[in-house]
Amino acid sequence: MFHPHLTGHGIIVLAMVNGAVACLPKDTRPPPASVFVTTSSDDAVRQGFDTDDGWHINFNRFVVSIGRSSFDGDACNSYSDAGYMRVLDLQQPEPQKVSLIYGLGQCDFGFRIANPQTDSLLGEGVSPADELYMQTAGNDNYTAARGIAGVGASTGINAIINGIATGPGEQKTFSWSFRQNLEYTKCFVEADAGIDEGLNLNGSASDPVNILVRGETLFQTNVTLTGTSLRFGPMALADSQYGNNDGSVTIDELGLVPIHVLAADGSTIGGLAPPSGSAGDYVGGDSSVFDGSGVTAMNNLEAFVYSVAFPMMFHYRDTGQCVTAIAPTRGR
């Protein structure tokens, strides 16, 4: 077709574009299934909750950077992955979009909790200032320990969790940031027929996946069971007994508390060994949460909250789990 408003160089460029389009190979693959990935939070994140040792906890801020949803597996035909992150305020009342991805076959599902990049998308209630703060590189006891050739690894922040804990006759605030990026793969749920791993994707079908975030997991002494052994008392001691007693419980102060203070029976120094499945199981060895990837020994409360409880907050399809590992650090 001749365009009278194009002459000379314009006609040449148009011809080149049309020729390039005509030369593109046709995609002969069958139509894929779509998977709409969302994330939501439980009532504890949005409304607060009571612990077993007499504290009431309200979250003031619960912002998480989540994304990079993907398919994998030998029997999976991945049409598209989502290589970006979304920064989401998880105190919003409804599930929020993470990504829309496409594939066919029996596919392993995975995602990441990682600091936002320049192409990250912001959810409702998250400001550009929040994003910039979370993009700002830094390190902590866990990112520094995983540096290359002895150099501490700097990374942004993947979660900001702030709140107020009110107990008998006292009140504590907490403001915690997490920098260690996490990769979740081979996600599964336990069904009546056994373990249901991944997704069986049929052409043109739609299969939603929600990732439920359970905020009270940060305060569980037993991460193998939901809704049990919730305690804030050991964290209060991190400030009042082990720290500077200024009313604010910091991540660093949690690191001053020996792990056995978290024992489910309430014992402190010299107490009995905690029961199976509780915090004491992680003393002196790597946590199975990370599938042998080399986590620092769980010998203090900070290590347990940071490297065990926090990763366990994220539940595939509301009740499921994933193989979890420390993800490579990405710069801003």
Token pair in block for residue 30: 């069958």
Residue 26 falls inside a structural domain: no
Residue 279 falls inside a structural domain: yes
Residue 199 β-bridge partners: 107
Q: What is the pLDDT of residue 299?
A: 79
Residue 301 parent element (H or E): helix 301-304
> By the 8 A CB rule, do 141 and 129 touch?
no
Residue 6 falls inside a structural domain: no
Residue 284 falls inside a structural domain: yes
Q: From CA 301, how far away is CA 242, in angstroms rounded?
A: 12
- Spans of the chain below 50 pLDDT: 1-2, 6, 17, 148-151, 227, 265-296, 331-332
Q: From CA 243, how far away is CA 257, in angstroms rounded?
A: 9
Q: What is the pLDDT of residue 105?
A: 95
Domain membership of residue 249 as a residue range? 36-326
Q: From CA 331, how far away is CA 28, in angstroms rounded?
A: 38
Q: What is the pLDDT of residue 2?
A: 46
The single residue listed with the structure tokens 């203070």 is 261
Q: From CA 159, how far away is CA 312, in angstroms rounded?
A: 14
* Cα-based angle 94, 198, 109 (whole degrees, multiple of 5): 65
Residue 4 falls inside a structural domain: no
Residue 165 falls inside a structural domain: yes
pLDDT for 151-183, tens place per residue? Answer: 456 889 999 999 999 998 899 999 999 998 999
Q: What is the pLDDT of residue 44?
A: 96
- Total domains in the chain come to 1
Residue 37 β-bridge partners: 99, 209
Residue 158 falls inside a structural domain: yes
pLDDT for 198-241, tens place per residue? Answer: 999 998 888 899 999 999 999 987 665 554 689 999 999 999 99
Residue 21 falls inside a structural domain: no
HEC string of 143-209 equals: CHHHCECCECCCECCCEEEEEEEEECCEEEEEEEEECCCEEEEEEEEEECCEEEECEEECCCCECCE
